């Protein structure tokens, strides 16, 4: 059943979760520390209290039932053209926003993308990201974490594998703590003003700032190793 969205919806969370996955089949419903993978993101979103609506966009009736069981809204099944390996997250988000408008349910001031493959992202992370949004009076917030290795110690390799000029001379003798910090997108939290998102088709417009997340909250599950490691961390957390 469709929940009571109301017509003054201010903050919408969208969790995209399609059934297919080549590297890790059915990953969104795999059991992670006693719950389907997607459940961790739904529960964190609800617990944060940052959203008027937590909506799951899926092409799967099974995922839809799981989403509803754990407290999310799942009022539609997304069309097949938005459920392929080449589907764009922005297009999925725009479809959900348009569906809500067509249903007479209004448009949120802010839209947040929460990918289910970031189960260690907590409700506290979401709250902190929104606190930063308000503090900066920002148009958007995107989560990042410190990179595991500096790109200054990386390079491509020629066919013969030679390491000549692999590292720039000015970097070669530096210790790791002397290198500047680099950050990577961790895929956990994307917040944007809905109007800007629809115009720019991006979370990275002007007035967007980085929310720096803890490394151990920033695992993005793409492979079986990522899943097993996340399961281990989650089970250790709740011992």
pLDDT score for 74: 96
Query: At 70, is the pLDDT very low, low, confident or very high (cuts 50, 70, 90)?
Result: very high
Kindly report which listed range (24-33, 80-89, 139-148, 229-238) carries the lowest average pLDDT score. 80-89
* Mean pLDDT value of segment 205-221: 95
pLDDT score for 19: 85
Is 100 a residue whose pLDDT tops 70? yes
Query: At 24, is the pLDDT very low, low, confident or very high (cuts 50, 70, 90)?
Result: confident
CA 44/CA 130 separation, integer angstroms: 14
Question: Which residue segments constitute the domains of the chain, with CATH numbers given?
Answer: 11-143+185-233 (3.90.550.10), 148-181 (no CATH)
Is 123 a residue whose pLDDT tops 80? yes
Is 25 a residue whose pLDDT tops 90? no
List, in sequence order, the alpha helices (H) in the chain: 37-48, 61-69, 89-102, 123-136, 169-172, 194-200, 224-237
pLDDT score for 233: 93
Query: At 224, is the pLDDT very low, low, confident or very high (cuts 50, 70, 90)?
Result: very high
* Mean pLDDT value of segment 133-150: 95
Q: Mean pLDDT in the chain?
A: 91
- How far is residue 52 from each of residues 134, 142, 149, 168, measured CA to CA in Å? 17, 20, 38, 51
**Tokens 């260690």 label which residue?**
120
Helix and strand numbers, DSSP H then E, in the chain: 7, 8
SS3 27: helix
pLDDT score for 2: 35
**More confidently predicted of 107 and 22:** 107
């Amino acid at each position: 059943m469709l929940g009571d969205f109301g017509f003054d919806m201010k903050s919408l969370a969208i969790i995209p979760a399609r059934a297919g996955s080549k590297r890790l089949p059915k990953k969104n419903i795999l059991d992670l520390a006693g719950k389907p993978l997607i459940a961790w993101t739904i529960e964190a979103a609800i617990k944060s209290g940052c959203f008027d609506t937590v909506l799951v966009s899926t092409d799967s009736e099974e995922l839809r039932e799981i989403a509803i069981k754990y407290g999310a809204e799942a009022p539609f099944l997304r069309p097949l053209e938005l459920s392929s390996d080449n589907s764009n997250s922005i297009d999925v988000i725009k479809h959900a926003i348009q569906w809500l408008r067509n249903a007479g349910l209004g448009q949120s001031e802010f839209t947040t993308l929460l990918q289910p493959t970031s189960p260690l992202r907590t409700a506290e992370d979401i709250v902190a990201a929104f606190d930063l949004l308000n503090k900066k009076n920002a148009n958007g917030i995107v989560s990042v974490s410190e990179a595991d290795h500096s790109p200054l110690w990386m390079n491509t390799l020629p066919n013969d594998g030679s390491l000549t000029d692999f590292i720039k001379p000015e970097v070669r003798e530096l210790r790791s703590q002397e290198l500047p910090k680099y950050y990577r997108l961790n895929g956990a939290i994307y917040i944007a003003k809905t109007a800007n998102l629809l115009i720019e088709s991006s979370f990275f417009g002007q007035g967007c700032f980085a929310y720096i997340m803890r490394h151990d909250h920033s695992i993005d599950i793409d492979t079986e190793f990522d899943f097993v490691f996340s399961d281990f961390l989650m089970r250790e957390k709740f011992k």
